[in-house]
Amino acid sequence: MKKRITWLLPLLSLSFLLLGVVSVQAQSGTPHTPTDDEVNAVASQLYCPVCENIPLDVCGTQACAQWRDLIREKLSEGWTTEEIKTYFVEQYGDRVLATPPPRGLNWLVYVLPPLLILAGAVILVQAFRAWKTPTEEPLEAEMAPSTPEAAFSDDEYIARLEEELKNR
Amino acid sequence: MIANLGYGAVLITGLLALYGIVAALYGLWRNRPDWVESARNAMLLTFPLLSLSALALIYLLVTSSFEVAFVAEVTSEAMPTYLKATALWGGQAGSLLFWAWLMSAFTSAVTLRKWERDREFLPWVILVGLVTLGFFLLLILVFENPFERLWALPDGSVEQSILRPMGGVLFTPRDGNGLNPLLRHPGMIIHPPMLYLGFVAFVIPYAFAIAALITGRTDDRWIRITRRWTLWAWLFLSLGLVLGGRWAYDVLGWGGYWGWDPVEISAFMPWLSGTAFLHSVMIEEKRGMLKHWNMILIITTYALVIFGTFLTRSGVLSSVHAFAQSAIGPAFFIYIGVTFLVSMGLLFYRWNDLKAKNQMTSLLSREALFLLNNLLFIGILVICFWGVIFPLISELATGQKVTVGPPFYERATAPLFAAMLFLMGVAPLSAWRHSTARTLGRAMWKPFLVSLLAPIGAFIGGVRLWAGLLTFWLAAFVASVTLYEFWRGARARSRRAGEPFPVALWNLAKRNRRRYGGYIIHLGVVLMAVGIIGIEAFQAETQKTIPQGGEISLRDYTMRYESLAFFDTPDNRNVARAVVSVYKNGKYVGELHPRRDFFYDSQQPMTIPGVRSTMEDDFYVLLVDWMPISSEGATFKVFHNPLVNWLWWGAWVFIIGTLVAAWPDKDPAEMAAATVKVPSRKPARARAYGD
């Protein structure tokens, strides 16, 4: 899992940076009217509590417009993104978050796929090993004529290509 | 009358399917070819009968026969005729009939082929086809009948049923509800049929696989017979996915094309296992290996096809409780379970017969790399499956609903997609059976050097995001390897045969269209990857409320809000249409018309973006809101989507590549020559190197 997270790290850090800017602004205490972009930055991390699988920043229903107004209100009161998210979770449950919070049963969602893929890789490696134990001699003979040195001369390439094309 | 005709046709088809199943089994049991022939005739009859039924429903839809409940549900008087006709797949009952109709077309077509050397497959293929078809017909007949009519009862209530209830009078509503506005889009008209075609066509290779398992023919004959069917299935499924993405981009108004929604994923999953299958069958054809694995892949694909229909049709996605209440949910669940278990049971029964005698000789051989590719495809499949299933498990176990949204899928699948791109660059250069790091390195260094130009160019151009640079390099690497393969093959051929280069290229591709079609598909994927990384990593958005004449700037673009107009349309919409001038680096580049349609009959709004699209980027403007009283101020959401057009162009290349690979051979003699070489009864080992 760790590896996966590092992959999108730049992307994530970019968005966190953006959020950081938002929260710093929000925390600075001076009352200001949050811009639409600031509201959307929070809303995009939350899911509409009534519609299926629609992020709050794009949902077109009246209810979602009101929730966005709520976010705006909270931001202008100086709430941080995390505080607003926690507030929404308390009000509407975990389903408003884009991914399940990592606790209890939810750990399964993060742990199981990497484990299964790892298991697949292990099976594959073992299969390779099993296949590689020579059981038939003729195969070695078949391999012999292709020395690595000759492999990429044109003639060798044509021969290989011909063989591959023939055996469709 | 017409409704009864349509219903009668479905009923007779259902009985015919049942008869066909019994006849095929009896013919097998008593070794009576005439009974098998009769089962085949039953199979062939299902298509004209279901055509009659589907045409009857289309007739009812087009003539606005609102006394039929389904017609009233999905159409309205104001809809244009073509939309009324295509509303056939605009609702549950109609789409099940449509599914069954396509299914009968495909299975009938495959039973029409010449069966001389594969006679023993025929009854089993008929059986699998008819069981699948029969299941869908059962759903239509028992649970979701599109021909049910509305009846007004003496107590004032309205009931829907096929037969007239006691004291019921036919009830015709003045107008129907109309099709969901989101579905009134060209993309949505073609997208479902393409998906369904892909779904039903995958039943064919599955049917042959099951036939091979039951008859104990352990060679790769079933794969060779169904090769093109599989490619066509895959083409339709790919087209369906791309059209769905395009539709989302054009209609859903959130600036993207793919939201990792469970419905999207349910169509993506059979595509993943199908793609893995397309690659790994080549190992069986060339090397006689992986027979078990190919069986597992095609059985999984079939299960996922039904599962995809189940997910979108059973209501299970909104809540497990909705699933329990829906009539067809449990039926689907049982059917998937039973077919999957039976298929797997058959596979285990034949397990020892399918053991390969060949070995994997090198970890860098083509077959080994194909296996790695399979691991990646299945890895992505596992992530998708788990992400879709987990909210249901959570709801069942704890009563708590959770969302598994895009961040989960993106983080989990991105490294696998990147690895897959890398493999796509390496695998075409590796040889079957034997490759070493040295031979691969020799083949790779030239394209590798060329490919470095892309990230270097991007870096100089100002790209600093390493995920972006990596993707650009991977894309360039695959592209240069693939083009290098074309060039090298054609040059070698042109030198040897003395043909001019373009002729040599043409003849080379003609020699093995699957191989070179596959390479074209790879090039398409590369273009799509560039588009995807463009929008995923470099998208920018902003939202502002501005007065008339006001401006919003985003990166190089500036839009000026010129005016806003409101008008009603004949098909019952109220349209709010803004006029927006677009400037790029201060230079006027055109006018866009983002709008918001409000559908009176369904009380639903729809946001349609104004898009300026170039190969470099898309400037995408949404009209989000406006001041209710005056039209002076309006809120716009503006997206800058770099490179996204590459995604759509890549999709075209992808489709052309698939057509090259799947197009039937013109020359029947050549086909015969290609197949005669294959001894039908000998074990696969005998011809692994034979021809």
DSSP category for residue A44: T
- Residue B563's beta-bridge partner residues? B579
- Does B410 touch chain A if contact means CB atoms closer than 8 Å? yes
Q: Give CA B657 to chain center in angstroms.
A: 16
Instruction: Report helix, strand or coil for A54.
Output: coil
Within 13 Å of residue B290, how many CA atoms lie on the same side as its CB? 27
The CA-CA-CA angle for residues B36, B223, B121, to 5°, reads 10
- Does A118 touch chain B if contact means CB atoms closer than 8 Å? no
Q: Nearest Cα to B279, choosing from B665, B666, B673, B661?
A: B661
- Tokens, residue B194: 């393409």
Q: What is the pLDDT of residue A52?
A: 72
Inform me whether the pLDDT recorded for A21 exceeds 80: no
Nearest to A100 among B402, B511, B691 (CB): B402
- B600, part of any domain: yes
- Residue B33's beta-bridge partner residues? none
- Tokens, residue B527: 């273009």
Q: Where are the alpha helices (DSSP H) in B87-202?
A: 92-111, 122-138, 186-201
Q: In B, which residues are within 8 Å of A112 by CB distance? A: 386
Q: Nearest Cα to B254, choosing from B265, B245, B263?
A: B245
Within 13 Å of residue A67, how many CA atoms lie on the same side as its CB? 29
Q: What is the pLDDT of residue B682?
A: 38
- B302, part of any domain: no
Judge residue B155's burial from the number of C-beta atoms within 10 Å of its C-beta, 0-12 exposed, 13-18 middle, 19 or more buried: exposed
- B467, part of any domain: no
Residue type, B16: L
Distance of alpha carbon B91 from alpha carbon B321, whole angstroms: 21
Q: Which residue has 């890895």 as its token pair? A: B379
Mean of pLDDT values over B241-248:
90
% residues pLDDT > 90 (chain B): 57
Residue range B27-53, pLDDT digits in tens: 999 999 899 999 999 999 999 999 999
Task: For residue B6, give how far its alpha carbon lies from the nearest alpha carbon of chain A (Å).
Answer: 35
When comparing pLDDT for B10 and B289, which is higher? Answer: B10
Instruction: Confirm whether the ipTM is greater than 0.95.
Output: no
Last residue within a domain, chosen from B128, B158, B179: B179
Q: What is the pLDDT of residue A150?
A: 39
Inform me whether the pLDDT recorded for B604 exceeds 90: no
Cross-chain residue pair A105–B398, CB shorter than 8 Å: yes
Rg over CA atoms, chain A: 28
Residue range B501-521, pLDDT digits in tens: 889 888 888 888 888 999 999
In 10 A of CB A2, how many CB atoms? 6
Q: What is the pLDDT of residue B633?
A: 86
Within 13 Å of residue B579, how many CA atoms lie on the same side as its CB? 8
Residue range B108-136, pLDDT digits in tens: 999 888 787 888 899 999 999 999 999 99
Q: What is the pLDDT of residue B118?
A: 84
Residue range A83-118, pLDDT digits in tens: 999 999 999 888 899 889 988 888 999 999 999 999
CB B200 within 8 A of CB B102: yes
- B313, part of any domain: no
Q: H-helix or E-strand containing B577?
A: strand B573-584
Mean pLDDT across chain B? 88
Cross-chain residue pair A55–B405, CB shorter than 8 Å: yes
Instruction: Report helix, strand or coil for A102.
Output: coil
Q: What is the pLDDT of residue A24?
A: 43
Q: Which residue has 């389904």 as its token pair? A: B70
Q: In A, which residues are within 8 Å of B404 by CB distance? A: 99-100, 109
Residue range B158-198, pLDDT digits in tens: 888 888 888 888 999 988 888 888 778 777 788 889 999 99
CB B96 within 8 A of CB B50: no
- B193, part of any domain: no
Mean pLDDT lowest among A73-82, B588-597, B599-608: B599-608
- B281, part of any domain: no
Last residue within a domain, chosen from B116, B144, B179: B179
Last residue within a domain, chosen from B157, B179, B201: B179
The CA-CA-CA angle for residues B652, B654, B656, to 5°, reads 70
Q: In A, which residues are within 8 Å of B391 by CB distance? A: 95
Q: Nearest Cα to B234, choosing from B187, B183, B185, B281?
A: B281
Distance of alpha carbon A50 from alpha carbon B62, whole angstroms: 35
Inform me whether the pLDDT recorded for B678 exceeds 50: no
- B629, part of any domain: yes
Inform me whether the pLDDT recorded for B690 exceeds 70: no
- B5, part of any domain: yes
Number of domains observed in the structure of chain B? 2
Q: What is the pLDDT of residue A4?
A: 45
CB B276 within 8 A of CB B423: no
Task: For residue A76, give how far its alpha carbon lies from the nearest alpha carbon of chain B (Å).
Answer: 17
CB B92 within 8 A of CB B144: yes
For each of the domains in chain A, give its residue range(s) and CATH number, in order of start.
2-98 (1.10.8), 106-166 (no CATH)
Judge residue B140's burial from the number of C-beta atoms within 10 Å of its C-beta, 0-12 exposed, 13-18 middle, 19 or more buried: buried
**Domain containing residue B1:** 1-179
Mean pLDDT across chain A? 73
In 10 A of CB B581, how many CB atoms? 15
Distance of alpha carbon B468 from alpha carbon B458, whole angstroms: 9
Q: What is the pLDDT of residue B322?
A: 62
Q: In A, which residues are within 8 Å of B288 by CB distance? A: none
Distance of alpha carbon A108 from alpha carbon B416, whole angstroms: 20
CB A132 within 8 A of CB B359: yes
The CA-CA-CA angle for residues B528, B285, A155, to 5°, reads 80
Residues 603-642 of B with CB under 8 A from A: 605, 607, 635, 637
Mean pLDDT lowest among A16-20, B97-101, B440-444: A16-20
Q: What is the pLDDT of residue B383?
A: 96
Inform me whether the pLDDT recorded for B349 exceeds 60: yes
Q: What is the largest CA-CA distance in chain A?
A: 82
